[in-house]
Amino acid sequence: MNLLIVILLFLALLLSRVTSLKTAVNVLLAQSALVALACTIVAVDTGEVHTYVAAALTLVVKAGLIPYALYRIVGMLRREREDHPILNPNYSAMVFGCMIVLAYGLIDRALPGVVSRDALAAAVSMTLIGLTMIMTRRQAVLQIVGLITMENGLYLVGLSVTKGLPLIIELGVFLDVLVAVVVLVILTYRLKRSFMSTDTSRLKKLKG
């Protein structure tokens, strides 16, 4: 599990350097597959059937359907990339690193000696990094990647604390995420049609 946590943190940090939309979706796909693997490991440890179902749903929805929808929209945006983010890649990497340090500091102070400390800290780090991506990237696809990274972090927080939520709650969360991504992909497509770009800063032109 420790190796899994290290790879998840590495992928989260890697997002700070990514400007290509397709590369960002590739990283998200790998990240979601690892989250599904983490859920499977918890399912094997606990033997709970609903956790196996949650792992399968994570694989199908987050590592299958959502990346597929994003690849479709990225395929229509071949010339789009993150050219002028609010934070350049160097500052972005520094801020993401600070988020990881902050998360470990918070978990150490709030839950000293907890066995799942590293997993919980990594999950909080991913949540903060996803939120930072939403705030500092201008491309709609990268903001969606930030949203799913934040959701993956929140999912891992729940997994670390409860060892698997009830299945009905898991189903509700997966449905919400899937609908949200479909709506955002449609909006991104409409943004491209209207402004010839998916740079969300252009929406400021809609101000009256």
pLDDT in tens, 129-178: 999 998 888 888 898 999 899 989 988 888 887 776 777 777 777 788 88
d(CA 58, CA 44): 16
Supply the pLDDT for residue 192. Answer: 77
**Amino acid 30: pLDDT:** 94
d(CA 77, CA 70): 11
Identify the pLDDT of residue 115.
67
Helix residue ranges per DSSP H, 89-207? 89-110, 117-136, 140-162, 167-195
12-49 confidence digits (pLDDT tens): 889 888 888 899 999 999 999 999 998 898 888 888 88
Q: Which residue has the higher pLDDT, 165 or 127?
A: 127
Mean pLDDT of 57-63: 88
**For residue range 88-108, what is the model confidence (pLDDT) as tens digits?**
888 988 999 998 899 888 888
Crossing angle for the helix pair 89-110 and 2-14, to the nearest 10 degrees: 140
Nearest to 159 by CA among 61, 58, 25, 66: 58
Could you tell me the pTM of the whole model?
0.85
